[in-house]
Structure 1
Amino acid sequence: MKKAFFIRLASRRSKRETAARWVAGLLTLVVFAGADADAPRVAIAPPAGSSNVFGGEPVEFPFVVTSAEAVRGRAGWVVSIDRRTIARGEQDLSVDPGRPAPIVIRWDVPPARDGIVVEARLSAVFDGVTRDVPLWIFPRDPFAGRVRGPGMPKLVLFDPERTTAPILEGMGLSFTSVRGSDAFEGLTDCVLVVGEGTSLDEFRGLADRLVQTAERGLTVLCLAPSAARFPLPGAEGVNGARPPSLCLRGREVIRQLDKRLETRSWPPDGRVIASTIALTSERERVVGTVSPGPGSGGWPWFEAEYPESRGRLIVCGFAIVRHWESGPTPRYLFARILESITEKNEDSAREILNAPRP
């Protein structure tokens, strides 16, 4: 009897365990089915273009909607500033698997006041999914209320290709032009700007003279040279002062100078970098070699500082002049570079004045 009872009890327990497993499986199925039901059917990608625009101009921003299944409905978009809606719109939208569809924001940007940059927010909504992106609205004049006037560094321009002078003239910036590197030796208390697209290799000794000019206390700003080869300051076998540090940077330096500026793509062709500088070996010396375009494996920003003389050498490979009229970032980057030069010069001057006297 005991044996039969034991067998019967085990059978009942087995049935209970089987039932429990079945219920657990059913609950799991319900949970997963609910998760699938709540999961968004669509994904909205932000616009691929720039997040910077000029005030007072019409703009177009296409968000891209994708889905693994066919979805039909109404899509909406909103432009807001300080949580206030200033523009909105709707459109019919059909999305099929493998066939993305755009939500297009077309908007007349209001004029921007000089010296004031406004942050707006673009929002696209479809099938219960919302995607937000920031948009910065800039006035056309990057120097209004910034470095133009008494705080503006004195500019001396060497521009054999005549690419940069028209830009400075158009912005109302004062500068002095020099035609040859022989004039560098007499320069004092200024920023020496080498115009964009200059080939330093075409002018004998030009690269060396730029380094020497920075060594003796001036700031040298070389805008996207088309070609150059110069001894690396401070490297073994190179004459001249040794800078405490050398900096090679990528696109992130743009955001370090101004977090609002665009680093991914500059209109109209999407190119941000005009030339890069790489470290190479030549005759058992380390040299900086400038090559056109972003694909040479180099960096678009090179900087050497000489704290004792307060000099700096900056080689900026971003296509500032080439894209000057295409969007806010190039001109505001240039203004911020000049502003940072002024700030560093003022900081250096204060350090000298506040240094303990022997």
Structure 2
Amino acid sequence: MSSLKTGMNERLRAAWRRNRALLQRSVLASAMALASLAAGAEEALPSLRVSQPWSCVFADHDLAFSVTVTAARPLSGRMGWSLAVAGRTVFRREQAVTSTPDKPAEVDLRTQLPPVKPGVVVAASLSVVLMEDGVSEPVAQLTRPLWIFPEDASHARHERLRELKLQVFDPERKLVPILEEAEVPFETIQSSGALEGVQAGTIVIGPGVAPEDNRGLWSVLAGLAAAGRPVLWLCPGEGRLNVPGAANSQLPAPMGLHLQRTDIITQLDKRLDASGWPPDGKLVGVSFELSGTGETTVLQVCPGDTAWPWFCAEFATGGRLVLCGFDLVDGWAAGPVPRFLFARMIEWLHESQKKEERQ
């Protein structure tokens, strides 16, 4: 009797093990099937991508964006898009679209933007919806927030800019013509030697000025900033600059040094694009790389976006010494960010002085 019970128990345990193995295989197969279905469904979903990275545009100009439709299978349908300005839809259009895996559709979105009042920046949004033939719900959609800017960045700032007394040294003649056309008030400094006598105002160095061709300029600028002057040098030419306060630099020591990437743009004004500017998406002209020479620490000015495009030394007097690698001049006419960023930088250079005065 005991042996009979033992044999039955063994057969039951063997059957349970077989059933458990079958159940595990079944659950695994179901999970793999579900994962395959989910992956297939996800892969089949089309996507929309705006080719242009910027969101800031000029009022009363043509809006020109292109949207790429990517699909894992052949797709035919219609794309609808609309433009809303200050919460009100001002333009709407729809067109047929066909996209295949080996040939994504490219759709151009164009319209005339409305004018805005001088000095007023208006929020807008571009909405795109993709409908597939035979499907009642959108298969893809996106919304691109936009900011519509007037052309004149110095409207209502003229008096303030006159008070800030821009002193411009621009031997390459790249910045001066732009400021003249924009009617920005400034005075021209004819030589780097004349900078030492500047007792007031905001010192701005135009782009392309090479340190090696203007020896002593960096030392003068550091001295002016240490004395409380706001100093801005746009896109220096290639060369090396000693870091103020570093060992053996023989330059005044600041309270702090800051190296930043493009995030400084949105810190200055959250509306401004920090990922790309028209016409080609480029926004960094030069960048600044820290390196050691064996004697001291230097900033190497390098072409392109290879390191930090922003360097700032802040002094106890409230003076600031800024190297800006953003390509403001070349992008000035193509979009609003360079001119509005320039105006904002000039204001920001003086904010530390206000803090010093309050203290």
TM over 0.5: yes
Equivalence for 1:45: 49
24-33 or 129-138: bigger deviation: 24-33
Aligned partner letter, 1:149: E
Matched, 1:77 2:86: no
Matches within 5 A, 1:298-313: 298-307=307-316, 309-313=317-321
Matched, 1:117 2:90: no
Q: Does the 8 A contact of 2:222 with 2:252 survive in 1? A: no
Equivalence for 1:89: 93
Distance, in Å, in 1 between the alignment partners of 2:18 and 2:217 is: 92
Q: 1:267 deviation in Å?
A: 2.1
Equivalence for 1:321: 329
1:27-71, CA deviations, whole angstroms, 9 ceiling, x for partnerless residues?
879966985797562111233342111010112211111111111
Q: Is the partner of 1:322 in helix, strand or coil?
A: helix
Aligned partner letter, 1:187: V
1:297-325, CA deviations, whole angstroms, 9 ceiling, x for partnerless residues?
x3111100112x22111010111012111
Q: 1:197 deviation in Å?
A: 1.3
Aligned partner letter, 1:170: E
Q: 1:186 deviation in Å?
A: 2.1
Q: 1:289 deviation in Å?
A: 2.1
Distance, in Å, in 1 between the alignment partners of 2:14 and 2:247 is: 88
Q: Is the partner of 1:266 in helix, strand or coil?
A: coil
Aligned partner letter, 2:99: V
Gaps of 5+ in 1: 352-358
1:140 to 1:22, Cα distance in 2 relative to 1, 3 A: same
Q: 1:348 deviation in Å?
A: 2.0
330-339 or 230-239: bigger deviation: 230-239
Equivalence for 2:159: 149
Q: Does the 8 A contact of 1:208 with 1:230 survive in 2? A: no
1:6 to 1:233, Cα distance in 2 relative to 1, 3 A: closer
277-286 or 99-108: bigger deviation: 277-286
Aligned partner letter, 2:308: W
Q: Equivalent pairs: percent with the same residue? A: 35
Distance, in Å, in 1 between the alignment partners of 2:239 and 2:32 is: 66
Distance, in Å, in 2 between the alignment partners of 1:306 and 1:19 is: 75
Q: Does the 8 A contact of 1:57 with 1:108 survive in 2? A: yes
Q: 1:79 deviation in Å?
A: 1.3
Equivalence for 2:136: none
Q: 1:122 deviation in Å?
A: 1.1
Distance, in Å, in 2 between the alignment partners of 1:34 and 1:161 is: 63
Q: Does the 8 A contact of 2:259 with 2:310 survive in 1? A: yes
Distance, in Å, in 1 between the alignment partners of 2:252 and 2:10 is: 96
Equivalence for 2:149: 138
1:141-167, CA deviations, whole angstroms, 9 ceiling, x for partnerless residues?
11113x321464111111111111111
Matches within 5 A, 1:290-305: 290-295=301-306, 298-305=307-314
Equivalence for 1:217: 228
Distance, in Å, in 1 between the alignment partners of 2:194 and 2:29 is: 86
Distance, in Å, in 2 between the alignment partners of 1:257 and 1:161 is: 27
Equivalence for 1:241: 252
Q: 1:257 deviation in Å?
A: 1.0
Q: Does the 8 A contact of 1:55 with 1:138 survive in 2? A: yes
Distance, in Å, in 1 between the alignment partners of 2:252 and 2:272 is: 34
Distance, in Å, in 2 between the alignment partners of 1:203 and 1:15 is: 86
Q: 1:185 deviation in Å?
A: 2.5
Q: 1:21 deviation in Å?
A: 8.6
Equivalence for 1:161: 172
1:244-300, CA deviations, whole angstroms, 9 ceiling, x for partnerless residues?
2111111111111112212222222332111112222335111222122223xx311
Distance, in Å, in 1 between the alignment partners of 2:16 and 2:290 is: 76
Q: Is the partner of 1:294 in helix, strand or coil?
A: coil
1:218 to 1:95, Cα distance in 2 relative to 1, 3 A: same
Distance, in Å, in 2 between the alignment partners of 1:120 and 1:212 is: 45
Distance, in Å, in 2 between the alignment partners of 1:329 and 1:289 is: 26
Equivalence for 1:350: 358
**CA RMSD of the aligned region, Å?**
2.9
Q: Does the 8 A contact of 1:234 with 1:242 survive in 2? A: yes
Distance, in Å, in 2 between the alignment partners of 1:24 and 1:291 is: 59
1:16 to 1:246, Cα distance in 2 relative to 1, 3 A: closer
> Which of the residues 256, 263, 280 maps onto 1:269?
280
Q: Does the 8 A contact of 1:56 with 1:111 survive in 2? A: yes
Q: 1:112 deviation in Å?
A: 2.0
Distance, in Å, in 2 between the alignment partners of 1:193 and 1:294 is: 22
Q: Does the 8 A contact of 1:225 with 1:317 survive in 2? A: yes
Distance, in Å, in 2 between the alignment partners of 1:115 and 1:221 is: 24
Equivalence for 2:188: 177
Q: 1:103 deviation in Å?
A: 3.1
135-144 or 228-237: bigger deviation: 228-237
Distance, in Å, in 2 between the alignment partners of 1:62 and 1:168 is: 32
1:29 to 1:174, Cα distance in 2 relative to 1, 3 A: closer
1:348 to 1:281, Cα distance in 2 relative to 1, 3 A: same
